[in-house]
Structure formats: structure tokens, C-alpha cells
Structure 1
Amino acid sequence: MAHEEIIDHYSALARAAAAGRVVADCGPDAFQEGCFGAAGYDDIHALPDGAVRASLGCGNPVAIAELRTGQTVLDLGSGGGIDVLLSARRVGPHGTAYGLDASVDMLELARRNAARAGVTNAEFLHGRIERVPLPDRSVDVVISNCVINLSGDKAAVLAEAFRVLRPGGRFGVSDVVVDGAIDPAARAAAEERIGCVAGALPVAEYRELLAAAGFVSVRITLTAGHGDGVHSAIVQAAKPAAAPGVEIRPMRESDADQVLAIYQAGLDTGQAGFETTAPSWKGFDAARLTYLRYVAADTSTGQVLGWVAGVPVSARPVYAGVIEHSVYVHPRCQAQGIGRGLLSTFIAGSEDAGVWTIQSGIFPENTASLALHQSLGFHVVGTRERIGCHFGIWRDVLMIERRSFAAGTGEV
């Protein structure tokens, strides 16, 4: 359905719920299986009937959101408000629960439900989930319930979720996904049974879009199966944690000049590597993986403070999960937790990507870098003695690596 058709459809359901009718967005069998609507909740006894009647989701994202007192939570596509009201209860009077919906009728219904429930720490916003009307880094948790799959631009939705989350913030949604390939006829049959299956992403594509937006620690857990490869699922991820005043995000081409300047500043210290001159952006870009590139940026100025990126160690398939990395922090910004944040994010992203070994080389004299890497699970596997001449001095290099506890363990 087009965006306007989706709004009209859910506006009609909101009006029906407001009139006291039980509404449904899928076949009765789905409700009987306990997969959709209010059947997925066990803590709705104190909610208004209108919120329960208008529940059209495919799970209970609040149950997996790990909300804490005083936090700010945003529900993308909040509908009649059931998840906002539950979230408001969990974050308490010093927290805030936002609901965002494109349907004016749904917003009116949700506000009435909040008033009837006596909830004062909930706020309902009119807008699209592809363009959230909230400032950068303003919420702790983003939730959603069977809505993201309806968007025609899911990359924009996930980018907006990343933007509004504070560093260390969490993304926890219920959604409908496709496990494996599904032919058009099967998809049409599934849509007959489950109204919100339209636009459902394959699991692998969902993971890729989350990673491209900057999320790490991605987990997609299939819950109820609805036939033809269609499942309800719990989708969880995190925005990288960072030092105060810093955000870690994917590297962009517009960062090129700053990334290369930091590269050169590191080389100028004489402790970062054997190179003496940073490459061109074309050379940098061609040599490195297209994924697992991150920068740490100042949240006030946008200035890039450091970066991390990976390169493949071999084109041979057996080494597909073995990469080498480099992490650089501007000399004026060291000892502020920026390198730790970048390297932690790189490790988490590599786990998501199925990387089983990260390796690198460090000069023995670079004790700060060695200590950082060892604190995050790297160990020294050997020393390459007098491996290269650097400014007239033959230098050793410590070879370090980190093995994953999740990828490449031999389990199939």
C-alpha cells in the first residue's frame, strides 16, 4: 500500500476502536494463536479498553526494551497507544514516553486513552517514522510494534532511529520478517492471512540495514511462524556507547578530509605505522572494507575526532572471517575514551558480520595502544623482529589478534 493508503486504513481502524468495536489487521487465526493484537501482552489489566481494542501489533516490544526509571522512550507508529502507556508506566513520572504516528485519528484515540489511564508522562506526536520530529540524541530507547515493515523507506526509518538515540541507546521492536526466499504467490497468500506482512524484510536484509545505519549487537529472534516463511520477530540492536560529548557513527565520504588529517597526524607521531604519508581518499576507500568503518564525532561541532576501519587479509575464502584493523585518534584527543569507544564498536560490528579474527600490528613502544587492545580481548601472538626500517631505525612489530567467542567457533 502507498503511504496515504496506509494512513487511511489505520485511521479507519482507529475510528472503529473509538466507537467501541474490536478491530483486527489480520485473520482470526492469528489472534487465536496469540501472535497479534492484545493477545501478546500479559500486563494490560490497568489499561483503558480503547487502547486494548486498538492493539494491532505482532508482539510486545515493551517486554524486551529493558526500560528503566527516568528514561525517554519513543514508539514508532504508536497507534492507539498501548505500548506508550505501558512504557510510561515503566519509566515512571521522571521519564517520558513519546508516541509517533501519521494518523490523526490514531493520535486522538491514543490521547484519549492516556487521559483515561491517568498517564501524564506520555506525549503523542504527529509525523512519519521516516522523519522523526525529535532532536538528535534525545531518547534512550526506540520501540515499535509491527510498523517498520509497512514503511517504503526502511533505511530512512532505521537512520532516524539511530539519529534520535543517545549513545548507548537501545532499539527493540517487534516486526514481521521473511526467513529465506519467498515467491510472490506465497507472499500474497501470507498477506491474505496477515495484513501487515506487506513489505516485510528478509532477515539478512534487516541486519544489513541496521548495520548500515550504525547499529551494533544486532539480534533478530524469530517468534511465531505464520507459514510461507513469514514470522513475527523480535529485533534488537544498540547505538554504540561513547565518551561524553561524542557519537560513534558510520564513516561517510564527507568525512574524508578529516579522516585523512587524523591519519596523517597519527603517522607524524612516529608510533602509528611504517607509512609516513596518508593515502588519498581514493586509495583509502579502495583498500578498506566497505563496512566496519566508524568515526567518533564531537556532538557539538560534528568534528571527527578519530576513526577505525578494517581491511581483508586475503581474498581466499578460508580467510573470509579474518580482517586487519587500524584505529586512529587525533593526538589532541587521546586518553579521553575515544579509542576505546571506536574499538569496542568495531568489535561488536565485526561479531555481527561473522568475523572470527581481528588482527593488527603495533610497535612495542606504543604502550597505550597495546594496553587498550589487551583490555578489549586482544593478545600478542608474536613479534616480527626488525621487520621494517622507519626513519633510519629497524623496528619490531608486535602481532596481536582477537578471536571471537561467537563467530568461527566451529558450531554450524
Structure 2
Amino acid sequence: MAHEEIIDHYSALARAAAAGRVIADCGPDAFEEGCFGAAGYDDIHALPDGVVRASLGCGNPVAVAELRTGQTVLDLGSGGGIDVLLSARRVGPHGTAYGLDASLDMLELARRNAAQAGVRNAEFLHGRIEQVPLPDRSVDVVISNCVINLSGDKAAVLAEAFRVLRPGGRFGVSDVVVGGVADSVAGGAIDPVARAAVEQRIGCVAGALAVAEYRRLLAAAGFTGIRITLTAGHGDGVHSAIVQAIKPAAGPGVEIRPMRESDADEVLAIYQAGLDTGQASFETVAPSWEGFTAARLPHLRYVAGDTSTGQVLGWVAASAVSARPVYAGVVEHSIYVHPGCQAHGIGKALLSAFVAGSEDAGVWTIQTGIFPENAASLSLHQALGFRVVGTRERIGRHHGIWRDVLTLERRSSVAGA
């Protein structure tokens, strides 16, 4: 179904709800048995009947969003406004709840519902969830209720959610997914014909993401702490689920995001500045960008960027320690911070994001080597759970001097446990 057809479909449902009819975007049996609509809530007693009647979600994202007083929350595909109104109640008069919807009829219905409920801290925006009309880093929490599965460009939706979230912000949505959580690594063998039939029955018109693909797209957008919890089964591997993730935290004026090819010159300049100190590595000259990327995994690469200038302030990346399958969850990492930005917490923010991202990727051991004289790096790693497991004495000559290297590792308590 094309984007315009989806808008027309939900606009018609909004008009029906405004006329006082109970609406559903899937078969009645699926709606009742799958905990769709108001069945997913237990805190709607104070809402107007019209809000409840227009509920089309597949869960209750507000229940897991951990909203706090004074926060700003954005609901992607807000429909009749039930999750916006519940969020507005939780963030209080000093907070703001935004609802974004592509249907003007749904927006009119939601605004009418908000007025009837007496909610003053809710604002409804017209637009697409692939192009959110809000500034960068302007909200604390992004929620959504059974809408992302409707998008034909889910990667763009998740990238936009990451963009508008402040560092440390949370992503918590209800959605429809395919496969089980155990399939997030191996992938499940699900009959595509049966899957399509279930998706059509429950109104998932653009196709649900497989659990593994959902995780991959969230990680590619820059999210860490990814959790997908199945909540209801609809048959043939299709489930409702709660999907949660975090935008890495960082200090004021700093954002941790995935490394891009456009960062190449700044990344390599920071690399060279670190090598020039004589305390970072046996290497003396930074590689070419082609050499850099060839030696490192395509994922688990992050930069710290200045939010006002876009300048790269530091980076972290991983390399595989072996091609043997037994070492699939073991990586070695490097981390470098711009010499003018050290002791500002940037290294800690980068390494924290890297550790969280590595656990999302199933990494159970992170290794690194540090010169004993590099006290700052040693302290940083030990503060984040790395331990010294040995010393390689006089392992190599550096500027004519034999150097020892401390071997550190961090064992995950999550991945491989």
C-alpha cells in the first residue's frame, strides 16, 4: 500500500471515530485477540470515550517509556492521540507531549480529544515519521504505537528518531515484528506467504521488520541498549512487541553517533595526533582511510561530535581478533580523543557507547593493549570494567626504546553469559 493510500485509510478511520463509531484497522477477531486498541491499556479511565474509541495501537508504549516530570516526548504516528494524552499527563504541566501524524483528519480528531480532556501541554504536528518537523536533539523520549511497521522506509524513521532525541534520550515503541528474540542472531525460517497473510489480517500494510533487522537498523542509526520484548503472538511468527533503545549519553555540546565516511579526514587527524604523543601505539603514522576501514569492523564505530560545529572530537572502533568462529564475540578496540578535548569526559562517553553497542552485537570480550605509561587511558578503561590480565614485557621497540604493553579485557555480563 502506497503512502497516500495509508493516509487515506487512516483518515477514513478518523472520520468514522469522529462520527462516534468504534474503529479497527484489522479484522475484529485479530483486534480483540491481539491486545490491539484500548485492550492494551490499564490507565485510560480518565480519558474521554472518543480517545479510547480511536485507539489503534498494539500495546502501551507509555507504560515502558519511563516518562518524568518536565520531559518532552514525541509520539510518531499519534492517531487519535491516546498515547500523547497519557504522556502529557505523566510529564506534567512543565513538560510537552508532541504527536506527529500524516493524516489531517487524525490530527483534527486528536486536537478535539485533547481539548475535551482539558490537556494543555500537548501539541499535534502534521508530517511524516520519515521527516520529523522538529529540531535536532529536541526531545527526551520517542514513542510510537504500531506505526513504524507501516512505513516503507523504516531506516529513515529510526534515523529521525535518533536525530531528534537528546543525548541519553530513550526510544520506546510498541510495534509488530517477525520472528522470535532468539532469531535476532540466527534468523528464523518463516513462510513468507503465511507471514504476509497474518500481516494483512492485523493491518500491518507495509510489512513488519524481522527482529534481527530491527536490531540492525537501530544499531545503524546509533542506538544502544537495544531490547525487543515480545508481548503477543498473532501466528506464523508475527508478534506484537515492545522495542526499547537509548541514544548514547554525552556531556553538554557533545553527541555520540555512528562514524561516517565523511568523518575520514578528522578521524585520521585525531589518530595521528594520538600517535604523535608516543603513548598511544607502536604505530607512528596513521593509515589511509582505505587501510583504516579495511582493518576494522564495519559496525561498532562511533565518533563524538560537537553539536554546534559538527567537528569530530574523538572516535572509537573495533577490529576482529580472529576469523575463527570461536572468537566471533571477541574484538579489540582503539579509542582516540582530540588533544584539545581530553579530560572533558569525551573518552568515557565514547567508550561507554562502544561497550553498550558491543553487547547489543553479541560481543562477550573486548580486548586492548595500553602502554603502562599511558595512565589516563588505563584509568579510563578500568573505570568502565576493564581489567589488566597480563603484561607483555619488552614486546616491541618504539623510537628505539623497548616497551611493555598491558593487556586489558572486559568480559560482558550480558553477552555470552
Q: Same fold judged by TM-score > 0.5? A: yes
Report the Cα offset of residue 193 of structure 1: 2.5
2:347 partner SS: helix
Q: Distance in 1 between matches of 2:388 and 2:193?
A: 55
The alignment status of 1:119 with 2:119, answered yes or no, reads: yes
**SS in structure 1 of the partner of residue 160 of structure 2:** helix
Aligned to 2:391: 383
Partner SS for 1:73: strand
Tell me what 1:104 maps to: 104
Deviation at 1:49, TM superposition (A): 1.3
- TM-score with structure 2 setting the length: 0.97
Residue of structure 1 equivalent to 2:366: 358
The one of 304, 307, 310 equivalent to 1:302 is 310
Q: How does 1:308-323 map to 2 (within 5 A)?
A: 308-323=316-331
Do the aligned partners of 2:34 and 2:233 also contact (CA within 8 Å) in 1? no
One-letter identity of the residue aligned with 1:45: H
Deviation at 1:14, TM superposition (A): 0.1
Contact 2:196–2:207 (CA under 8 A) maintained in structure 1:
no
Task: Quote the Cα distance in structure 2 between the aligned partners of 1:25 and 1:266.
Answer: 57
Q: Distance in 2 between matches of 1:264 and 1:280?
A: 11
3-state DSSP of counterpart to 1:332: coil
> What does 1:148-167 align with in structure 2 at a 5 Å threshold?
148-167=148-167
CA distance in 1, matches of 2:121, 2:198: 38
Q: Does 1:260 align with 2:268?
A: yes
Contact in 2 for aligned 1:190/1:197 (Cα 8 Å)? no
TM-score by length of 1: 0.98
Note the C-alpha offset of 1:26. Answer: 1.6
How much has 1:325 moved relative to structure 2? 0.2
Residue 254 of structure 2 corresponds to: 246
1:217 aligns to what? 225
Match of 1:228 among 225, 228, 236: 236
Q: Hey, what does 1:349 align to over in structure 2?
A: 357
Answering whether residue 275 of structure 2 is matched by residue 275 of structure 1, we say: no
* Partner in structure 1 of residue 16 of structure 2: 16
- Counterparts of 2:196 and 2:328 in 1: how far apart (Å)? 37
Matching residue's letter, 1:355: V
List, as ranges, runs of 4+ consecutive aligned residues in structure 1 with deviation greater than 4 Å: none
| Count of residue pairs the alignment pairs up | 409
Match of 2:3 in 1: 3
Distance 2:302 2:318 in 1: 10
Question: Aligned ranges for residues 22-37 of structure 1 at < 5 Å?
Answer: 22-33=22-33, 35-37=35-37
Cα contact 1:149–1:201 (8 A) shared by 2: yes
Report the Cα distance in structure 2 between the residues aligned to 1:31 and 1:131, rounded to whole angstroms. 29
- Does 1:46 pair with 2:54? no
Contact 2:199/2:238 (CA < 8 Å) preserved in 1?
A: no
Aligned residues of 1:362 and 1:397 also touching (Cα < 8 A):
yes
Give the match for residue 137 of structure 1.
137
SS at match of 1:70: coil
Match of 2:189 among 181, 192, 202: 181
Cα distance in 2 for residues equivalent to 1:73 and 1:234: 17
Is the contact made by 2:233 and 2:240 (CA closer than 8 Å) also made in structure 1?
Answer: yes
**1:196 and 1:326 mapped to 2: Cα distance?**
42
- Three-state SS of the structure 2 residue aligned to 1:325 is strand
Could you tell me which amino acid in structure 2 is paired with residue 371 of structure 1?
A: S
Shift of 1:408: 1.6
CA shift at 1:8, angstroms?
A: 0.2
Letter in 1 for 2:25: D
Query: How far apart in 1 are the matches of 2:43 and 2:192?
Result: 38
Contact conserved, 1:173 with 1:235, CA < 8 A, in 2?
A: yes
**Distance in structure 1 (CA, Å) of the matches to 2:49 and 2:60:** 17
Preserved contact between residue 295 and residue 306 of structure 1 (Cα < 8 Å): yes
Q: Which amino acid aligns with 1:92?
A: G
Shift of 1:35: 1.0
1:66 corresponds in structure 2 to 66
1:291 maps to which residue?
299
Provide, for residues 365-409 of structure 1, a one-character-per-residue CA deviation record: whole Å limited to 9, x for no partner.
001110110010000000000111111111100000000101122
Alpha-carbon distance, 1:48 to partner: 1.4
Residue 197 of structure 1 and its aligned partner are, at CA, apart by 5.7
CA displacement 1:28-50 (0-9 Å, x = unmatched): 22333351001111111111111
- Residue-by-residue CA offset, 1:320-377 (whole Å, 9 max, x unaligned): 1110000000111000000000000000000000001000000000011101100100
Task: Give 2:183's aligned residue.
Answer: none
Secondary structure of the structure 1 residue equivalent to 2:175: strand
Shift in Å, 1:191: 3.0
Structure 2 match to 1:146: 146
User: Does the CA-based 8 Å contact 1:181-1:202 persist in structure 2?
Assistant: no
Distance 1:258 1:374 in 2: 27
Contact 1:80 1:109 in 2 (8 A): yes
CA drift of 1:198 comes to: 3.9
Identity %: 88
Deviation at 1:183, TM superposition (A): 2.4
Structure 2 match to 1:56: 56
Mark the runs of 5 or more structure 1 residues left unpaired by the alignment. Answer: none
| CA deviations over 1:55-103 (Å, ceiling 9, x no partner) | 0000000000000000000000000000000000000000000000000
Give the CA deviation at 1:189. Answer: 2.2
Instruction: Please tell me the residue identity of whatever aligns with 2:356.
Output: A
- The worse-fitting range, judged by mean Cα deviation, of 285-294 and 175-184 is 175-184
Shift of 1:188: 3.1
